[in-house]
Amino acid sequence: MDKTMGKQLIRKLLPMLDKMNWPDTPVATAKGQQAFEIGMEKIDNAPNDPQAIAHAIRVFLSGDSLPYALAGVAYALVYASREKNGAFAPEGLEAAMEWLEKAQELEPDLVDINVIEALIYIYSDRFDDARLILDYLQGQEPTNHYLHLAEIQYWYNQRNLEQTVHWFEQAAISAITVPQRLRLSARLGDVYMEFKQPQKAVEAYREAIHFNKDNHLLWYKLAVAYWQQEDYAEAERCVDQVLRIKSDFALGLKLKQALQKKQSSGVLGRLFGK
């Protein structure tokens, strides 16, 4: 599968779904839940990668639970709907809702499944509908990790940094695995950078690096955060770490050159009293 996303990917996926072998068990099972969680993890790790989405769909179908498989496919369709510009193709979100409703008919009360409905509303900019779902689910299972992630997306999409950070904190508490905590810290750093708070981004990226010291992209993001604070010495230390891990990383090489240029202009400035 190529790197096509959004409307084009949806049009490729939908005809394939009817031809797949679906589980026979019409109720939620432990094995089905496990496959559901593994598949979601694969998508969350690479939400812009159509190959990861296709792999996740195969994982969802490998469980012995039809409702979890249907809900997993709905989740996959949500992220397959994302266009390169960040918008979500309406026909993809509509298809996701259709598959989700099939899951809800079989298991109407599972928070892990119902939270996907809130996500569909969020990405459709139907925030009032999303809020109704989220409030209802909070009354059912307030410590649910997937619910916390949906709350992050709800507040982020409305540009409310305070509430977004609050739900990052709640999600960090409810996270079970190291990859979940790593993603949260890295994503929080990205949010702080987007809101022009590089100092707080540094803290978040450093926490993420604590979980994954060999992630060159995290070191690069940390270097950029230091660059934005004009802490060029720390930025260079971080970019050197980037290039130790991945010597041909183009963005790292470009930042290294920019830092060297900054340093040389700084030396000249001191020499000439500027």
Q: Work out the end-to-end distance of the chain between its first and last CA atoms, rounded to an integer number of angstroms.
A: 56
The CA distance from 172 to 180, in Å, is 8
Instruction: Count structural domains, the chain.
Output: 3
Same domain, 10 and 98: yes
Radius of gyration of the chain, Cα coordinates, nearest whole angstrom: 21
Helix (H, G, I), strand (E, B) or coil at 249: coil
Same domain, 73 and 127: no
Please check whether residue 120 is in contact with residue 78, taking contact to mean a CB–CB distance below 8 angstroms. yes
Same domain, 206 and 273: yes
Helix (H, G, I), strand (E, B) or coil at 230: coil
Residues of the chain with pLDDT under 50: 1, 267-274
Please check whether residue 181 is in contact with residue 211, taking contact to mean a CB–CB distance below 8 angstroms. yes
Same domain, 4 and 90: yes
Tell me what pLDDT residue 114 has.
99
List residues bridging with 88 in a β-sheet: 82
Last residue of a domain, one of 176, 207, 222: 176
User: Domain span at residue 258?
Assistant: 181-186+193-274
Tell me what pLDDT residue 3 has.
66
Please check whether residue 36 is in contact with residue 85, taking contact to mean a CB–CB distance below 8 angstroms. no
Last residue of a domain, one of 108, 132, 166: 108
Look up residue 158 and give its DSSP letter. Answer: T
Phi, psi at 88, each rounded to 5°: -110, 130
The CA distance from 104 to 106, in Å, is 5
Tell me what pLDDT residue 263 has.
77
Encoding tokens for residue 128? Answer: 């009032």
Using one digit for the tens of pLDDT, what is the confidence trace for 29-76? Answer: 999 999 999 999 999 988 889 999 999 999 999 999 999 999 999 999
The CA distance from 239 to 255, in Å, is 7
Same domain, 13 and 101: yes
Same domain, 27 and 45: yes
Tell me what pLDDT residue 181 has.
92
Encoding tokens for residue 122? Answer: 């969020």
Same domain, 13 and 66: yes
Tell me what pLDDT residue 4 has.
75
Last residue of a domain, one of 108, 131, 156: 108
